[in-house]
Amino acid sequence: MKVLWLSPWMRPLARIHVEALRAQGDDVMLVTTDQHPESDAPRDYEVVLDARFKQARSWIPFVKALRAAREFAPDVVVGELVRDPRWLAFGALAPRVHLVHDDRPHDASENRPAWERAIFDRWGRSADATVTFSEYVADAVRRGTVPGARTPVYSIPLTSDVDDERISAVVPASARRDLVLVGRINSYKNLDVVLSAWRRHVDGSGWRGDDLVIIGKGSIEGPLPPHTVHRNSPFRYDDELGVMARAKASLVHYRRASQSGVQVLSMQLGVAAIVSDRGALPEFRTPGDPAIGVDDVDSLVAELDRLADPDTAFRRGLAARTHYADTFAADVVGTRLHSLLAAVAGLAPDSVQSRIPRVDVELRGLDAGGSRDPAS
């Protein structure tokens, strides 16, 4: 099967998907840009474009890329977060899958202008199928709150955007230290509650000398609690994976639901995620781990006290790594994705209508429970 993948923003994750499909025997061409901070030299399957369509010098490479895509003759096209109107021409080359990451913007900085919503929401609704990374977002698409409601909608697990080759063995209890909170600082990350709980944890008997290391750019109002470090700058994984892997826990205690790449990366690293009942999508939670009330500071302090114990942190982290390998690993997702795309392309034994629902049922069986109003 030949797959044309369009991903201007999510280049590292797109690479993981592309290479998982290539491992299935598919031929894949990735059209992308250098906009992601983890971008580096193009790989042999990549075409890297300048997404600024108002720049005159971006047009000749685009025309060459479109010609190459036509010669590639894809069986199916996958598009995610496309925002350049020229790229719509790629989507016309074969049956198309609209890949949706979230049910709504995380904050005002992610709001799109009206002209962009008009063009690309319509494009999303005209796809042959819509794919999400959770049943929570799939339900939002089906309700019509996310573009794609006129298409069949299916969910697959979200894999990590970090290659497994960059991930070490699960860090032993003896080397565990600190807790981490990772990602751009947004209001939905519930920092007021988290920092209040951390202050009480540090003042209490359960503290074991750890720091809370906040990794991500953004302003935090007011003075930080004791033993809190904020690395307030954009970051690359090469600089922070070691800190994250050694952590006793990763704080993902968000105020609203989204398909959380931080939560998935924490599992991949073998680090327990502390999650809220509002932010934690059921299919993303390690079985047996609690979901704490989003404003329940007492329970959050108790969880910080539990995971301050390095042996507990190691056991919970090992369970998280096992859950990741069974459910979210790239090879697991690649197998599902291959079957789904083959069905959309008409290359599966059955039709799209008869084949894809069986894939969907298989994937829903991976969920830890039904979806609810549970972030990135």
pLDDT tens track for 242-283 = 999 999 999 999 988 877 889 999 999 999 999 999 888 888
Percentage of residues of the chain with pLDDT beyond 90: 60
Residues 146 and 28 in one domain: yes
Q: What is the DSSP string of 91-140?
A: HTTS-EEEE---SS-SSGGGPPPHHHHHHHHHHHHTSSEEEESSHHHHHH
What pLDDT does 118 receive?
64
Beta bridge mates, 244: none
pLDDT score of 303:
98
What mean pLDDT is predicted for residues 97-102? 87
pLDDT, average across residues 121-150: 81
Cβ atoms of 213 and 278 closer than 8 Å: no
Q: Would residue 143 count as lying in a domain?
A: yes
Tell me what the mean pLDDT of segment 323-348 comes to: 93
pLDDT range class, residue 92, cuts 50, 70, 90 = very high
Instruction: Tell me the pLDDT tens digit for each residue of 182-193.
Output: 988 888 889 999
Strand partners, 104: none
Mean pLDDT for 71-95 is: 93
E-only strand ranges, 253-290: 273-276
Torsion from C-alpha of 266, 270, 271, 272, nearest 10 degrees: 100
Q: CA nearest 105: which of 202, 184, 203, 22?
A: 184
What percentage of residues in the chain have a pLDDT greater than 70? 85
Arithmetic mean of pLDDT over the chain: 86
Lowest mean pLDDT among 77-86, 154-163, 254-263: 254-263
How does residue 364 score in pLDDT terms, banded at 50, 70 and 90? Answer: very low
Return the CATH number at 192: 3.40.50.2000
CA distance 102 to 91: 21
From residue 187, give the alpha-carbon distance in Å to each of 41, 109, 218, 291, 374: 34, 12, 10, 19, 16
Measured CA to CA, the distance from residue 173 to residue 14 in angstroms comes to: 33
Residues 335 and 287 placed together within one structural domain of the fold? no
Residue 140 has pLDDT above 70, yes or no: yes
* Domain assignment present for 370: no
What confidence score (pLDDT) does residue 280 get? 82
Residue 147: what pLDDT? 61
DSSP bridge partners of 130: 98, 153
116/17: higher pLDDT? 17
Assigned domain for 369 exists: no
Q: In one letter, which amino acid is 36? A: H
121 shares its domain with 35: yes
Task: Based on the fold, state whether residues 129 and 175 are members of the same structural domain.
Answer: no
Give the range of the structural domain holding residue 44, as residue numbers without chain letter: 2-159+330-364
pLDDT band at 32 (very low <50, low <70, confident <90, very high): very high
353 has a pLDDT exceeding 50: no
90, 210: one domain:
no
Q: Is the pLDDT of residue 361 over 50?
A: no
Same domain flag for 119 and 193? no
Q: How many domains does the chain have?
A: 2
What integer pLDDT is reported at residue 359 of this predicted model? 36
Local confidence band at 181 (pLDDT 50, 70, 90 cut-offs): very high
**What six digits make up the tokens of 37?**
């901070």
pLDDT at 337: 95
Same domain, 44 and 150: yes
- Kindly report which listed range (38-47, 102-111, 314-323) carries the lowest average pLDDT score: 102-111
Whether 293 and 322 map to the same domain: the answer is: yes
Whole-angstrom CA distances from 271 to 8, 27, 290 are 30, 34, 14
Full-model pTM:
0.86
More confident residue, 55 or 101: 101
Residue 309 burial class via C-beta count within 10 angstroms: exposed 0-12, middle 13-18, buried 19 and up: middle
**What is the band of 115 on the pLDDT scale with cuts at 50, 70, 90?**
low
Q: CA-to-CA distance for 153 and 285, rounded, in angstroms?
A: 22
| pLDDT for residue 128 | 92
∠ CA 332-106-258, rounded to 5°: 35
372 falls within a domain: no
Q: How far apart are CA 336 and CA 354, in angstroms?
A: 16
Output the six-digit token pair for 126: 């005209």
What's the confidence (pLDDT) of residue 53? 65
| pLDDT given at position 226 | 96
- Helix 330-345 vs helix 11-23: angle between axes, to the nearest 10 degrees? 80
Asked if residue 356 and residue 283 are part of one domain, the reply reads no
CA distance 169 to 245: 9
Same domain, 254 and 182: yes
Tokens, residue 204: 């209490």
pLDDT band at 104 (very low <50, low <70, confident <90, very high): low
The residue written with tokens 């009330």 in the block is: 293
In a domain, 376, yes or no: no
Return the H-helix or E-strand segment holding 154: strand 153-155
In a domain, 238, yes or no: yes
Q: Is the pLDDT of residue 356 over 60?
A: no
Instruction: Specify whether 28 is located in the same domain as 148.
Output: yes
pLDDT at 366 over 60: no
**Within-domain flag for 371:** no
pLDDT given for residue 251 in this prediction: 97
**103 confidence band (pLDDT: 50, 70, 90):** low
At residue 276, the 3 state secondary structure works out as strand
**Three-class SS of residue 230?**
strand
Alpha helices in the chain (DSSP H): 11-23, 59-72, 88-91, 114-125, 135-143, 191-203, 237-246, 261-269, 297-308, 310-327, 330-345, 352-364
Q: Rounded mean pLDDT of 217-224?
A: 88
In 3D space, the residue among 154, 88, 155, 77 whose CA is nearest the CA of residue 120 turns out to be 88
What pLDDT is stored for residue 230 in this prediction? 95
Is position 375 within any domain? Answer: no
Looking at residue 340, what is its pLDDT?
94
Query: Residue 107 pLDDT more than 70?
Result: no
Are residues 145 and 18 located together in one domain of the fold?
yes
Question: Of 343, 371, 372, which is closest to residue 357 (Cα–Cα)?
Answer: 343
pLDDT at position 373: 31
